[in-house]
Structure 1
Amino acid sequence: MTRPIAARRTWIFAPGADEAALRRAAEAGPDVLIQDLEDFTPPQLKAQARRLCRPIAEACRASGVIPAVRLNPLEHVGHDDLAAAMRAGIGVILLAKTAGPEQVAALDRQIARHERDLGLAIGATEIVPNVETAAALVRITAMAEASPRVTAMLLASEDLAADIGVGRTPGSEELAYARSRFLFECVAAGVLAIDCPYTFSRREDVDRDLDFALARGFKAKALVDPAQVAPVAARLTPSDEQMRAALRLIATFEQARDRGVTPAELDGHRIEVPSYKAALRLLDRAAVLGVTIPAAL
């Protein structure tokens, strides 16, 4: 891939058979463009969508965007989706409605077969299961362990709400527990947690939804609106203010440590080792994202 998994902040879905929409989404500059061959593509247009896999993947690569495809489950028409994606050289495969590890393992085997037949690097294709039910939410570790190809998981919003029997609201309170648990499960499993797409359009609601995600530690967000790509990416990127604060905390902690003074204090607050390590992680993330870190204070 052109970008490590930790640096993929924005994952945008676009209808699989709508070439204009796919190109608009790519032009918005997401980290990953997901050509959706599942719910966003009606049955009569799926063949047309598969034919678009190659040209859309080429357009993505030309603009520095990682191309991805979301497949229908293999037990439906997913085999045809996978064949089209693999022929197009798409290296990130999202599996819709993943129910458990057996589906992940089956997809792993099919991908390996295509890699061998097409002369592709064995093991290079990634799997991103989509968690869309309560049953899948509690099996994240098992799904991650089912294949070394699993690098991330994506949480659905509309399907998950339907599965647990609640309606969607602009505040998304109905998904608060599921989103928090999803993040914890993914961290424990060692995979990137991609927060669910926000399907309302008012800017203040979008900002509030992202506030929730950031406060809990999400580093990646699914999207459906190209207009949200730039602001969401900005919020998921360390700002100059955050980096300067981190540099100041690190300098204060290290100076106190070198003098044998513990605990260090900054602006009346104790600086414990976890806070110091969090500041170091923030700068590491900035480096992964290619952000210029300000000069040390």
Structure 2
Amino acid sequence: MARPYRSVLYIPAANERAMEKARTLQADAIIFDLEDAVAPSEKATARDALARALKSDYGPRARIVRINALDSDWGRQDAAACAGFAGQVDAVLVPKVDGAAGLDRIAALLPDTPLWAMMETPQAMLNAAEIAAHPRLAGMVMGTNDLAKELNSRFRADRLPMQAGLGLCLLAARAHGKVIVDGVFNAFRDEHGLRAECEQGRDMGFDGKTLIHPAQLATANEVFAPTDAEIEMARRQIEAFEQAAAEGKGVAVVDGRIVENLHVATARATLDRAQAIAAMAG
């Protein structure tokens, strides 16, 4: 049963109160951020605060640490700290990954920790398949704010300028069996806009969405979970197909629609996802 990643919440590692509160939030995963959310003067303090926070119990939530780039003033110290967090973190998120070589450098420093990649540059989009194929990679995160900056694109509610990059990364992740979560929605008080973007990401095939505020959790958790109707349909499809198979037939019909092996595989995945979400809820 795969862990769900419907809601992946960024928490600044310099904010001890926020990290403590995150233990009670309904997030599937937490990204403890040592990079963009932490001022240069607070990098060392944030690293120390994170070390203390990770000694706490975060329950079933995945714990991911976003470090600074290795070529920055803080990246190697972040990596060294993460090497000491063995058993306390589920993955290290690497920023500005342009290709497999960037992951190789981190992998050598963190031999026992799964890696995730920030996909936030044009080069990353073009090398998405190479990055997704890396043997140490477990997940990918779309960095749509940085990507928009690099593309010199404008904001559109339909995210048309992002579609090529989003699609390339999704194809790569699915080809290599990796988790992939969508980028953030910046207007955290705009619930309607958030829901629309979550629905778009869900329909495209993303596993979930990265979030910048706890107020966004409920929407992401709802949108990226199977609905009661979808769960019921999945059960009916499986039952109908199994009955058809028992009768020597290769297909079944549910509500006037053909049900084949591929539909049953999707139905089973829907039920597995619902079960994993229920397990997260305790």
Following the alignment from structure 1 to structure 2, what is the Cα–Cα distance between the partners of residues 42 and 52? 14
Identity of aligned residues (%): 25
Q: How much has 1:75 moved relative to structure 2?
A: 1.2
62, 66, 89: which one aligns with 1:66: 62
User: Which residue identity lines up with residue 104 of structure 1 in the other structure?
Assistant: L
Following the alignment from structure 2 to structure 1, what is the Cα–Cα distance between the partners of residues 63 and 54? 5
Q: Is the 8 A contact 1:24 1:226 kept in 2?
A: no
Over 3 Å counting, the alpha-carbon distance change for 1:291 and 1:38 in structure 2 is closer
| SS state at 1:30 partner | coil
Q: How much has 1:66 moved relative to structure 2?
A: 2.8
> What TM-score do you get using the length of structure 1 for normalisation?
0.85
Following the alignment from structure 1 to structure 2, what is the Cα–Cα distance between the partners of residues 263 and 98? 45
Which whole-Å deviations, capped at 9, do the CAs of 1:140-192 have from their partners, x for residues lacking one?
2322344x321111110100111111022344332223222211111112211
When structure 1 is superposed on structure 2, of 128-137 and 25-34 the one drifting more is 25-34
- Counterpart of 1:92? 91
Matches within 5 A, 1:202-241: 202-241=190-229
Over 3 Å counting, the alpha-carbon distance change for 1:167 and 1:20 in structure 2 is farther
Q: Is the 8 A contact 1:34 1:70 kept in 2?
A: yes
- Counterpart of 1:46? 43
- Counterpart of 2:8? 11
Which whole-Å deviations, capped at 9, do the CAs of 1:70-115 have from their partners, x for residues lacking one?
1111111201112223324434110111111111001011113xxx
**Runs of 5+ consecutive residues of structure 1 not aligned to the other structure:** 113-122, 293-297
| SS state at 2:234 partner | helix
> What TM-score do you get using the length of structure 2 for normalisation?
0.89
- Counterpart of 2:30? 33
Matches within 5 A, 1:36-185: 36-59=33-56, 61-76=57-72, 77-89=74-86, 90-112=89-111, 123=112, 125-146=113-134, 148-185=135-172
Q: Is the 8 A contact 2:122 2:150 kept in 1?
A: yes
- Counterpart of 1:22? 19
**Runs of 5+ consecutive residues of structure 2 not aligned to the other structure:** none
Q: How much has 1:218 moved relative to structure 2?
A: 1.4
- Across the aligned residues of Structure 1 and Structure 2, the Cα RMSD in angstroms comes to 2.1
Following the alignment from structure 2 to structure 1, what is the Cα–Cα distance between the partners of residues 247 and 50? 60
Q: How much has 1:261 moved relative to structure 2?
A: 4.3
Q: Is the 8 A contact 1:28 1:227 kept in 2?
A: no
Following the alignment from structure 1 to structure 2, what is the Cα–Cα distance between the partners of residues 92 and 168? 31
